[in-house]
Amino acid sequence: GEDVEQSLFLSVREGDSSVINCTYTDSSSTYLYWYKQEPGAGLQLLTYIFSNMDMKQDQRLTVLLNKKDKHLSLRIADTQTGDSAIYFCAEDGGYQKVTFGTGTKLQVIP
Amino acid sequence: GAVVSQHPSRVICKSGTSVKIECRSLDFQATTMFWYRQFPKQSLMLMATSNEGSKATYEQGVEKDKFLINHASLTLSTLTVTSAHPEDSSFYICSARGYYRQASSTDTQYFGPGTRLTVL
């Protein structure tokens, strides 16, 4: 079946850039998503990218998609303490069937 | 591979009937299970959180009598949509938090593949 993998932890200093990586296996993915989960809260959709795009930028967020390698990344510029959360990538394989990664816990050190 | 399964993956039912969705953690004990509902191109909406053996905690706006959650064991939680109506048609996702691998020093949340509910 489809599989989405992420590293579990990332620690960065405040002001630095964070890069969270994700790999997936489903070549029929139409959309790929990044979600943010703050402690005690549900998932918040941060951004998504259509599978025929290479890059999408939204303020401090940059999403890069390498469809050939099935690799997705989320870059957060000027990382702030409020960015500390768990970030999930997810791929939509069609019919709105979404497969989530296990999440990357981002720790921002002041 | 996936460590949380959901059954069924798709269900179509008539208005007024009840539908049960199962969520199972495979090869690990889930201390907490979450039920989400997803609307197209929107964030997942957390419906409820349940711990094994205790009553589920529902988010504001989610009807307890409509969406019955039973966390019967450390590996199984069920969501029953009672007297389903077309507006209940959606994609329901469960996730389970637990220690999957013995070497892991922290618990991780794993998501199920989702259940597509269509109410006619």
Query: What is the spatial distance between Cα B86 and Cα B119, in angstroms, rounded to a whole number?
Result: 5
Burial class (CB in 10 A: 0-12, 13-18, 19+), B51: middle
Torsion angle of the four alpha carbons B1, B4, B10, B15, in this order, in degrees rounded to the nearest 10 = -170
- B-facing residues of A in 10-69 (CB < 8 A) are 31, 35, 41-45, 48
Mean pLDDT within A58-84: 95
Does B2 sit within 8 Å of A35, measured CB to CB?
Answer: no
For Cα atoms B20, A32, B92, give the angle at the middle one, nearest 5 degrees: 10
Q: In this complex, which of A43, A86, A95 lies closest to B43 when CB atoms are compared?
A: A43
Instruction: Look at residue B99 in the predicted model and tell me its pLDDT.
Output: 66
Query: What is the spatial distance between Cα A67 and Cα A72, in angstroms, rounded to a whole number?
Result: 8
Does B45 sit within 8 Å of A42, measured CB to CB?
Answer: yes
* Token representation of residue A101: 């990664």
Which of B47, B94, B109 to mutate to test binding with chain A, by most A CBs within 10 Å of its CB? B109
* pLDDT classification of A2: cutoffs 50, 70, 90: low
Share of chain A above pLDDT 90, in %: 52
The answer to whether B13 touches B84, Cβ cutoff 8 Å, is yes
Question: Is it the case that residue B10 has pLDDT exceeding 70?
Answer: yes
Question: Is it the case that residue A38 has pLDDT exceeding 80?
Answer: no
User: DSSP code of B88?
Assistant: G
Stretch (H or E) spanning A102: none
